Structure 1
Amino acid sequence: MAQIFKRGKKWCYRIWYRDKLGNKRSTSKSFDKKRDAVEQAAIAESQKNTTNLSKKETITFYEYFSDWIKTYKTGRFTRNTELRYVQTAKLIHDFFGNTLLKDVTRSDYQKFIDDYANNSRKNVPRSKKSVARINGYIRAAVADAQEEKIVDFDFTRKVVINGSKPKSNEHKYLESDEASKLKKYAYEHLSLKSISFYEILFALATGCRYGEIVGLTWPDIDFESKTVSINKTYDYVTRSGFKPTKTAGSVRTITISQKTVELLQRLNQEQIKTFFKQGFRNEKQLVFLNNRHYIVSDNGANKVLESALKSPEVNAKNIITFHGLRHTHASILISQGVGVDYIVERLGHADTSITLRVYVHLLKDKRDKDNQKALKAISEI
């Protein structure tokens, strides 16, 4: 039975419950009017028999989110996605500490979201997409907490998502002269020790995603027919092994030039000689395994690429990421008049709409040039 009493000018109720260890505990709330205290006490008394009141009174924001991940997310998604959930839990812990879930306010949560948006290791605002993803994870957890009656309201509701806008694809690729300089620079620095230069050249030549590149095995390469089979990726974050391609449409066979064939043959011979001396067997037959028997992460490859682009020999205007090499490959094909259907197949896009959306600015430029050619041809008749 709830206790109703007056504390100063406020009317209060106190109810008792058992925590998960069986210990007797109490919780109280205060109101301006006695009748409000009586009404809410009756509601709380009825709720404690149908909900986990001890959990509501003791669980922190971080504890609830961590338990929620284990219950609903672990083992159901890719390793990378699971890591994002775990990283979100760490963000909650770092910002909220031991704050109880029921005590988090909308203003507290807005401050948390703003803090995440404005602080990153590179001291630049995080992308709006990244902030929205974190908010999406937490919002789903809070919705479940509401259903469990652990929180009374959704404190993520109407949160304002800040962050930088994604860069236009116009700045995510190299001009043809920059690509030529980068190729020259990479060829001059090729070695098994600096295997990222092999990866850079392969990316420029094929437009493959980084996970597809490091997932290549030697049986995937047919030197005689000059083709490469893209049929899997590699988990370069945790190095736990092979994974499926991004989509079913990403499984494909692409043709490569004679120069790319010679590049891969050179890597193959260098790898065989080095591994033989080391007494190491490349059991997974990974193509882009360096002299330390290591698959370089995309972060490591990006650092090598950035250094090359900033070098005096290349001096690129736009410093792109490794994924920008894929865009560069596509831009070269478009500028040479290669059809969209072929580009879709080569890049492993699910359908034409993705290619059109990603490269709309390049295709528009080509269309404008085609228009000029058409008008000129007609005027000369």
Structure 2
Amino acid sequence: MVKFLALTGLRYGELVALQTNNLLENAISIDGTIHFHSTTYDSPIRTTPKTQAANRIVPLPEKANQILNKILAEIEFLKQNNHYMDKDYVFTHINGLPIDYRTFAPILKKAARDAGITKNVTSHYLRHTHVSILAELNVPVKAIMDRSGHSDASTTLEIYTHVTEQMSENLIDKLDSFDY
């Protein structure tokens, strides 16, 4: 899940709302998000995304396709279990229900600590990382907005500006080290 989030820039709710009908050839269709009741783990509510811009098609890199293929094979295996509730979700517990963020977050935090990352890592951090990588690759802001489902350019530009400032600092370091 972590790698898939980093490769796609999805919001966590969009990730766990993915159903097999959202899987296209080398892309995914985002048309929903999942919210969980705070009182029970087994009550996911699938709703429409928070903005019209969040309804989108996200092209997938090959690594993301490989992750999906592996997960789909695992799902077929899990369906043999009598306790599997087939609701057509892709990223699920072994019972077939979407993975609640309260389950995912502590695992992500522990993995970050184990990797020596002291920053408070959340799924949104992975989304921010995805947008930052796209900015470093000089992907146009409009393309990043479309991919990430941002309805407001300022959200994307805030991340993009931070990255381009860092790129500018790196450029100066490189120029300073150049021997004329």
- TM-score, structure 1 length as denominator? 0.42
Letter in 2 for 1:217: Q
Q: Does 1:201 align with 2:11?
A: no
Partner of 2:101: 298
Please give the per-residue CA displacement for 1:322-341, whole angstroms capped at 9, x wherever unaligned. Answer: 11110111111112222211
State which structure, 1 or 2, has the greater radius of gyration over its C-alpha atoms: 1
Q: How many residues align?
A: 173
Letter in 1 for 2:155: I
Give the share of equivalent positions with the same residue, in percent.
Answer: 27
Q: Does 1:229 align with 2:29?
A: yes
The 3-state SS of whatever aligns with 1:235 is strand
Alignment partner for residue 132 of structure 2, among 322, 328, 331?
331
Structure 1 gap ranges (5+): 1-198
Given that 1:334 and 1:366 are in contact with CA atoms closer than 8 Å, whether structure 2 keeps it comes out as no
Partner of 1:356: 157
Please give the per-residue CA displacement for 1:114-164, whole angstroms capped at 9, x wherever unaligned. Answer: xxxxxxxxxxxxxxxxxxxxxxxxxxxxxxxxxxxxxxxxxxxxxxxxxxx
- Aligned residue runs from structure 1 range 98-247, under 5 A: 199-222=1-24, 225-237=25-37, 239-247=43-51
Q: Does 1:289 align with 2:92?
A: yes
Given that 1:302 and 1:321 are in contact with CA atoms closer than 8 Å, whether structure 2 keeps it comes out as yes
Letter in 1 for 2:110: S
Partner of 1:260: 64
Letter in 1 for 2:123: F
Given that 1:237 and 1:297 are in contact with CA atoms closer than 8 Å, whether structure 2 keeps it comes out as no
CA RMSD of aligned residues (A): 2.4
Given that 2:84 and 2:94 are in contact with CA atoms closer than 8 Å, whether structure 1 keeps it comes out as no
Please give the per-residue CA displacement for 1:236-294, whole angstroms capped at 9, x wherever unaligned. Answer: 33534210101011111011112211111111111111112337451x31111221233
What is the alpha-carbon distance in structure 2 between the residues aligned to residue 204 and residue 290 of structure 1? 20
Structure 1 position 357, deviation (Å): 2.5
Letter in 2 for 1:351: D
Partner of 1:39: none
What is the alpha-carbon distance in structure 1 between the residues aligned to residue 139 and residue 37 of structure 2? 34
Please give the per-residue CA displacement for 1:26-70, whole angstroms capped at 9, x wherever unaligned. Answer: xxxxxxxxxxxxxxxxxxxxxxxxxxxxxxxxxxxxxxxxxxxxx
Aligned structure 1 segments of 4 or more residues deviating by more than 4 angstroms: 367-373
Structure 2 gap ranges (5+): none
The higher relative CO (CA closer than 8 Å, separation ≥ 6) is in 2
